[in-house]
Structure 1
């Protein structure tokens, strides 16, 4: 599956505090500058310009040279400021000024050279030592958030298992702002790792607890993203991928989309849908790779909840104004449904079949422009036909216009020979058209 790029984050409002189960508006998690969100990838760091009280264009050469002597890389950020701030970790005296300094350091980590400098100062070790030592939630939130940003830089450096374990322990926090940063940290580590031995049964239970119990939009989205990052490419121990994770993912998704919190046509609604499908697709991948018949049985016995949500999404996409213009998310959604349905051998559903038929009709008109979407939709259509009877398909196709059902059957007859149908499609075409 495709992986999202890791994100850097700006500092949230210093006055915002909440508990794990308290509802709240989702806060921007990407760096926001002049209303524009910026993202960096693991392999390519795009420097993000930050405002400060110095305008380099207005400085004379002598002043610039003096400032450069203490500067970090090509920035005007001060090495001594960073050092003085980190020295305060030794004996925490939490006050507004220190909080503002620490928040500014967090902002500074939008710059690659600042992150590299923090690596030189062994910031991960310093940060983990401070997190283990102190209990001030706001301090812990900012430190872990800063650490997550530092990990976003493509440095050939890693944290020790013990250091990672210190941050993982914060999954026990009841402060949702701390938990959001812990999720970002785990996602950052997972993104750059081929395995995730730092996640054990206790940590997974805590992740599932958050998914099952939180109603905070941002925390749920971050946790769904985290479990998706952990399970992609089989990074997570196969023994930790179970029906409890599957059920927790659906519970979180239904909390987000099954209520008045989000809608499918919103940015967060699309993210929720994507993360849910990434998780279920990854779980199906584990079933396929490790031939886990027990997990497959557990999920198929509890498939109704997923299918109810799948029907809503597919019906939404079957409306032309929602399907077009085609986006990368739309392409992923349909390929995910195709993989999940076939992997779990999902039974025929008239509602899903009609909606898929409508989508196939629309994309068949532009198949050369959306080849991947066309292929996944066609394969899903053929799979559904193979799971039904001639009489049932005949009845359901009658709900479409004559032109649409003829187009759909022509496309299936032309492109679907690899599927075994229990009846002759040509005869069916003659009867319904």
Structure 2
């Protein structure tokens, strides 16, 4: 299963006394206090104490402060460690990330939050917990409709991780079945994206889905194969009919 690559070495900037004491997360030298601060900052971004509605503030919501980006990226790297992932789970970090995904308009922040969840899901206990949260599951699947390629890549990576876990694979297959629009989104990505990493990962998700559920495979292959008789030919440009096989072939051309 995939994980976010190249975690940084443990920070030397942490206070020595804290690192040696109860502030450490598990057997790591990472600071609980520091992590609390970063997560609290995330909450503040999503639920500011003094919200404003000006257009300038709305534009700023799509940008991530450089210092905050550096800190949350460090959490992303740290989350590869099981002790850190379990601590994030204990601190209800998935709920915080769900709030970010539901409210934030910042593509980079959304990408990082999904990426952290993807790392956490690499550990079975946490994967089961994340998968059992129906609301979080719906929010994550909704990320497949995102227009940001990095966010789509991290979402696909997380989905592939969950689909690869026997205990929860059927839960995700059923959720995907319940949202027919996911089919259109996947077809659109494969037919229009030029991001090779994204195309490969989405292809792996589709391959895993088909391996897990033959009925779903047949439905998706047949979907869009026949234009409705009551739909005039000239209307077809307004509502493009996606067919997954040509979309897969188009993705293969880009990857090659």
Specify the TM-score bucket, using the shorter chain as the normaliser: 0.7 to 0.9
Can you give the 5+ residue segments of structure 2 that lack an aligned partner in the other structure? 46-60, 223-242
- Give secondary structure in 1 for the equivalent of 2:130: coil
- Match runs of 1:113-152 below 5 Å: 113-152=83-122
Deviation at 1:187, TM superposition (A): 1.2
Among candidates 184, 199, 218, match of residue 205 of structure 1: 184
- Give secondary structure in 2 for the equivalent of 1:103: helix
Evaluate the alpha carbon distance shift between residue 65 and residue 90 of structure 1 in structure 2; reply closer, same or farther with a 3 A threshold. closer
Deviation at 1:222, TM superposition (A): 1.3
2:75 is aligned with 1:105: yes
Evaluate the alpha carbon distance shift between residue 198 and residue 75 of structure 1 in structure 2; reply closer, same or farther with a 3 A threshold. same
Q: Distance in 1 between matches of 2:80 and 2:190?
A: 29
- Aligned 8 A contact 2:82 2:123 in 1: yes
Q: In the alignment, what sits opposite 1:8?
A: 3
Evaluate the alpha carbon distance shift between residue 245 and residue 84 of structure 1 in structure 2; reply closer, same or farther with a 3 A threshold. same
- Aligned 8 A contact 1:208 1:245 in 2: yes
- Aligned 8 A contact 2:183 2:220 in 1: no
- Match runs of 1:45-124 below 5 Å: 50-54=8-12, 63=16, 67-92=20-45, 94-124=64-94
Q: Distance in 1 between matches of 2:35 and 2:221?
A: 44
Deviation at 1:239, TM superposition (A): 6.0
Runs in 1 of length 4+ with deviation above 6 angstroms?
Answer: none
Q: Distance in 2 between matches of 1:78 and 1:235?
A: 47
Deviation at 1:241, TM superposition (A): 2.9
Evaluate the alpha carbon distance shift between residue 89 and residue 235 of structure 1 in structure 2; reply closer, same or farther with a 3 A threshold. farther
Evaluate the alpha carbon distance shift between residue 230 and residue 87 of structure 1 in structure 2; reply closer, same or farther with a 3 A threshold. same
Q: In the alignment, what sits opposite 1:291?
A: none
Deviation at 1:125, TM superposition (A): 1.7
2:127 is aligned with 1:169: no
Q: In the alignment, what sits opposite 2:48?
A: none
Q: In the alignment, what sits opposite 1:32?
A: 6
Evaluate the alpha carbon distance shift between residue 95 and residue 236 of structure 1 in structure 2; reply closer, same or farther with a 3 A threshold. farther
Number of residue-to-residue matches in the alignment: 210
Structure ranking higher on relative contact order (CA contacts 8 Å, 6+ apart)? 2
Among candidates 149, 155, 172, match of residue 182 of structure 1: 155
Q: TM-score, normalized by length of structure 1? A: 0.45
Q: TM-score, normalized by length of structure 2? A: 0.74
Deviations 1:284-303 (A, max 9, x none): xxxxxxxxxxxxxxxxxxxx
Q: Distance in 2 between matches of 1:73 and 1:240?
A: 47
Can you give the 5+ residue segments of structure 1 that lack an aligned partner in the other structure? 1-5, 10-30, 34-49, 258-433
Evaluate the alpha carbon distance shift between residue 129 and residue 66 of structure 1 in structure 2; reply closer, same or farther with a 3 A threshold. closer
RMSD over aligned Cα, in angstroms? 2.4
Evaluate the alpha carbon distance shift between residue 78 and residue 240 of structure 1 in structure 2; reply closer, same or farther with a 3 A threshold. farther
Q: Distance in 1 between matches of 2:255 and 2:129?
A: 37
Deviation at 1:122, TM superposition (A): 1.6
Deviations 1:49-105 (A, max 9, x none): x4133399xx9xxx5675331011100001111111111122218411111100000
Q: Distance in 1 between matches of 2:215 and 2:106?
A: 31
Q: Distance in 1 between matches of 2:201 and 2:93?
A: 24
Evaluate the alpha carbon distance shift between residue 240 and residue 186 of structure 1 in structure 2; reply closer, same or farther with a 3 A threshold. farther
Deviation at 1:220, TM superposition (A): 0.8
